[in-house]
Chains A and B, each alone.
Chain A
Amino acid sequence: MYTQALDTHGKEPLPAATGESGAQAQRFQARVDAEDKIEPKDWMPDAYRQTLIRQISQHAHSEIVGMLPEGNWITRAPSLRRKAVLIAKVQDEGGHGMYLYSAAETLGISRAQMFEQLLSGTAKYSSIFNYPTLTWADLGAIGWLVDGAAIMNQIPICRCSYGPYARAMVRICKEESFHQRQGFEIMLTLAQGSGAQRAMAQDALNRWWWPSIMMFGPSDADSKHTAQSMRWKIKRFSNDELRQKFVDITVPQAQFLGLAIPDRELRWDPGTQHYLIGPIDWNEFHAVLKGNGPCNRERLEARRAADEAGRWVREAAAAHARKQSTRTPQAP
């Protein structure tokens, strides 16, 4: 997991910094147009660098914060098998955060700066993690819908013009597909279970459907950075295109589960060969992004507590390393 169209939440890209020559910018764009990959030491426009730093670091934060709603269920997983799977998934999310932080660092921001931005609340992360996981079925819905939406967003980033981000994304997408399948399996088991279990699955779908739909970010009309990101080949499809793809593949999966998508206006449109959804509540989306979702404060407090509780370990490790490095090497 878990990128969403976070490119829309930052400041406008800076105008070309002084000293950037038009010729350099043209050469850069020609390389991007030719599908050449840009690597850390290559010249790049400052706005490209800043856009990537923002997008990759927000993506990394999303992975790290994304460990919280699921980690919450590790001790309560219904069987040893489910527990082992959940631990593996949460550990993967941590790993994905590490790949992404490393990719962002190649652009000149430090890990410490990124952590500082997350913990101080100035950095954004995916809005989806500010919703609570109330029942075991939520873990199924997250894997199926949230990871499904994330995969839809992330597969095109495997072809991103920035090499380190693209490579991180290839690795992440490879690991991600188990996340979605284990989630669907949880939903399927519940959907085929008792009446109470089916109700639990339906309730989870009811609560996670719209937040998952919103993961694709604002509609194209309101997405101010899309055109530039597309020119730079950071982004390959618009928010609405990806959202439509997700709806088209997910509706039949819900039908297979025998669960109802909580949208009375949802219908198949034979003309366009697409499922059309009802209006999205963007007020909710913006409220959650601004910090007023159900769990925003709880998530950041959990991250700050973890940072604080681990401080002595980091300091001890650093002190140990310093001591070891000053010791005279012993004769063989």
Chain B
Amino acid sequence: MSEDWPLYEVFIRSRSGLEHKHVGSLHAADARMAIEHARDVYTRRQEGVSIWVMRSADIIASDPEEADSLFEPARDKVYRHPTFYAIPEEVKNL
């Protein structure tokens, strides 16, 4: 193989009603071939009812070095969760 076909990321919807989930990647000459290869590589045991593929080069990802500045601010905001609030036992339906 002199040149690699472009890399595609594969997303599979496992059942109707669920979201597409990233399962892996593969090489293909074009989008149609990427779908066909994804069928063979990632759904040999009925793992999916729908496939998305996209060129890996088109993904824009956050930088691991920036993880702290991106996600740290949410760390001390526990009041965003319902368990933060103390409600008396006898109060129902809350």
Contact = CB atoms under 8 A, between A and B. Distances in A.
Contacts of A320: 29-30
Given A95-B40, A105-B7, A318 B29 contact: yes
Contacts of A314: 1, 5, 29
Contact of B64 (A41, A102, A111, A116): A41
A23 interface: no
B75 interface: no
Contacts, number: 56
B44 interface: yes
Given A168-B24, A324-B30, A98 B1 contact: no
A133 to B, nearest CB: 23
B70 interface: no
Contact of B4 (A41, A88, A112): A112
A108 to B, nearest CB: 13
A41 B61 contact: yes
Given A41-B61, A92-B44, A175-B45, A102 B25 contact: yes
A145 B79 CA distance: 55
Query: Chain B: interface residue count, which band?
Result: 20 to 34
Contacts of A220: none
B1 A95 contact: no
Interface string A96-111: 0011001001000011
A98 B4 contact: no
B27 interface: yes
A320 B29 CA distance: 8
Interface of A: 39, 41-43, 88, 91-92, 95, 98-99, 102, 105, 110-112, 115-116, 167-168, 171, 175, 307, 314, 317-318, 320-321, 324-325
Interface of B: 1-5, 7, 24-27, 29-30, 33, 40-41, 44-45, 61, 63-64
- 5 closest A-B pairs by beta carbon, nearest first, are A317-B29, A321-B30, A321-B29, A102-B25, A112-B1
25 contacts: A41-B63, A42-B64, A88-B44, A91-B44, A92-B44, A95-B40, A95-B41, A98-B41, A99-B41, A102-B25, A102-B26, A111-B27, A112-B2, A112-B3, A112-B4, A175-B45, A307-B1, A314-B1, A314-B5, A314-B29, A317-B33, A318-B3, A321-B5, A321-B33, A325-B30
Given A111-B27, A171-B24, 10 more contacts: A42-B64, A98-B26, A110-B4, A111-B4, A112-B3, A314-B1, A314-B5, A317-B30, A320-B30, A325-B30
